A = this chain, B = another copy of it.
Amino acid sequence: MTDTGIRIDFNNCMAARIGKAGLTDKELATAAARARRAFKAVARARKRKKLAWAELPHERETLEKIHESWEAKREAFDDIVVLGIGGSALGAICLRSALLHPEHNRLGVKDRDGPGLHVLDNVDPNQVGGLLDTLNLKRTLFLVVTKSGGTAETMAQFLLARERVKRMAGKTWRERFVCVTGEAGALSKIAAKEKFETLPVPEGVGGRFSVLSTVGLYPAVAAGIDAEKLLDGAAAMDAACASPEMSENPALANAALLWLFAKKRKCNVHVMMPYAHALRDVADWYRQLWAESLGKRVDRKGKVVNAGQTPVKALGVTDQHSQVQLYVEGPYDKLVTFVAVEKFDHYVRIPRAYERVEAAAYLGGRAFGDLLEAERRGTELALSSAGRPNETIWLAGVTPRTVGALLYMLELQTAYAGEMYEVNAFDQPGVEAGKVATCALMGRKGFDKERKRIEKARAPEAKYVVGGDAGR
C-alpha cells in the first residue's frame, strides 16, 4: 500500500552541488529536528480528530453516496456546472485538467465519456453570461458548492442559474440542482425549502483541504474519473508518510526544505513547475493551499510575523520561454519545484523529415515525451549551474492514483509546514476585511457602519492619477 508512485529528488538543493545558495547537511539536520516536532504535532492533532481532511482517504461511504446520486442522473445530463469559488472550485478544476481528455469540454457529447465539466469560479458578467448562453440548460446539472452556504459569488451565480433553468425547464427545475454545503448556512435553508438534493461538506474540512471530500469527488465521479483510485493513492501516501524522519517521509522532507529556504535563504517565492500539461492546475490548486495556509500576520503565540511564501504556478516547457530567464539570472529569492512524469499515456513520435536541415533532423524519430524530459533536464542543469536551488517531484505517470497521492502529499506538507512556521495553517483571517467591505458596498443589512466609514474616506487625489480623463 505504500507504493505511491512518487519520489522527491532534492540533490539540487544542496550546497555541494549548487554552491552557496544551497543547503548544508548541518542545516538539514537542524530542520530535521524541527520537522520531527512538526510531525508529532500533526500526529497528535489527528489523534484528537482535529484534522478531518487527513482522514478523507480512508472514508469510503461518501464515495458510495456520490455514485448512487450520480447513477440516478447520468442519463439526464450532458453538462455539469460547478457553482463555487476558491476551495470549492480549484479541486474540481485540478482533477479535470489532470485526469480528463485535454479537450474534454470541446469534444461533442458523443465523443466523450462523461458530461462536460464547467467550473464557474468568478462573477464576471461576460464569463457567467457567456457560459450559460452556450449550454443546453435542459440537460445541465448545477452543483452548488459552498461550505458556509453564504458565499456571495456562488449565491449570485445560483440565483441566475435558478432563474434561467426555471424559465427553460418548468416544473422539473429543482432536479437540476445539487447542493454541497455545510448544515447551518443559507444555502442549506434554501435547499430544504426547495427540496434540492443535498450532500454535506464534512465538518472540519476547510475549503483548501476539500479536494478529496464531496466537494472535489462529486464532479470527478460525474465526469468519469476513477475516484476510488484517487483515494487509494492518497491512502498510500498517508502510509508512506508515517515516519517522523524527513528522510523517510516525502511530505515532511518537502515541508522542511521549503521552510529552510524561506528562513535561511530568504526565498520568498516558491515556483511549482510541472512538466506535464495535465498537471498545470495542480500548481494552481497548490497556490491556494500554500498561500492561504502560511500567509499569516501572527504566529500561534500572537507575535507579528507576516509569514508566508508566494507560490507561483509555472508550466514546463511553456514557461522556459517566459520565466526561466528570470529564474536563472534574477534575484536569489526562489526555490523551483519541478514535477516530472516518468511515463505519459500517449506515445507520440516526432516524424522524420528534412534530414538535411539540422534544426529538424535531430528531432525526427524521437518521442514528444523525450523532448519534454530533455527540456526539463536542460532547465534543471541551467538552474543548477547558475547556483539556483531546485528539486524534482517524480510521478510514475499521471493517473488517478498518483494524482491522489500528490495532492495528499501537498496537503500533509502544508500541515507540517504550518507547524514549522508556528502558524495556524487552517484559518484565513485576512480575507474577512475585504468581505465586510464588499457587503457594505453592496448594501447588505447590518453593514451600515462599515458603509459609512467607507463613504467618509478621502477621495483619491488627482495628482496620483495619470492618463485618461485624469491626465487632461
B317 touches A334 (CB 8 A): no
A470 to chain B: which residues have CB within 8 Å? 7, 9
Given known pairs A13-B464, A332-B306, the reply for A357 and B434 (CB within 8 Å) is: no
> How far is A292 from B441 in the complex, measured between Cα atoms in Å?
39
> How far is A325 from B153 in the complex, measured between Cα atoms in Å?
17
Output the residue of A8, A246, A247, A465 with the most chain B CB within 10 A: A465
A30 within 8 A of B: no
A102: which of B126, B159, B323, B370 is its contact (CB, 8 Å)? B126
Q: Mark A319-361, 1 if CB is under 8 A from B, else 0.
A: 0111111111111111000000000111110111110011111
Number of copies: 2
A63 within 8 A of B: no
A466: which of B3, B253, B359, B431 is its contact (CB, 8 Å)? B253
Interface size on A, as a range, is 35 or more
B326 touches A308 (CB 8 A): yes
Given known pairs A248-B466, A428-B325, the reply for A434 and B378 (CB within 8 Å) is: yes
B102 touches A381 (CB 8 A): no
How many Å from the CB of A312 to the closest CB on chain B? 6
A322 touches B129 (CB 8 A): no
A471 within 8 A of B: yes
A169 to chain B: which residues have CB within 8 Å? none
A50-58, A117-125, A226-234: which one contacts chain B?
A117-125
A240 within 8 A of B: yes
A313 to chain B: which residues have CB within 8 Å? 313
A357 to chain B: which residues have CB within 8 Å? 186, 189-190
A window 57-112: CB within 8 A of B: 85-87, 89-90, 101-103, 105-107, 111
Output the residue of A363, A444, A468 with the most chain B CB within 10 A: A468
B362 touches A442 (CB 8 A): yes
How many Å from the CB of A440 to the closest CB on chain B? 8
A128: which of B107, B348, B438, B454 is its contact (CB, 8 Å)? B348
A173 within 8 A of B: no
A310: which of B123, B155, B310, B321 is its contact (CB, 8 Å)? B310
> How far is A247 from B127 in the complex, measured between Cα atoms in Å?
35
Q: Which residue of B lies closest to A439 (CB)?
A: B362
A454 to chain B: which residues have CB within 8 Å? 381
Q: Mark A421-460, 1 if CB is under 8 A from B, else 0.
A: 0000000111101111111111111100000001001101
Given known pairs A122-B318, A367-B125, A385-B433, the reply for A295 and B130 (CB within 8 Å) is: no
How many Å from the CB of A465 to the closest CB on chain B? 5
A window 280-306: CB within 8 A of B: 287-288, 291-292, 294-297, 306
A346: which of B125, B468, B469 is its contact (CB, 8 Å)? B125
Shortest beta-carbon contacts, A-B, top 10: A86-B321, A295-B326, A7-B468, A308-B330, A378-B438, A250-B467, A378-B437, A186-B359, A150-B359, A382-B434
Extra inter-chain contacts (5) besides given A125-B344, A324-B434, CB under 8 Å:
A89-B318, A125-B346, A159-B353, A366-B442, A382-B430
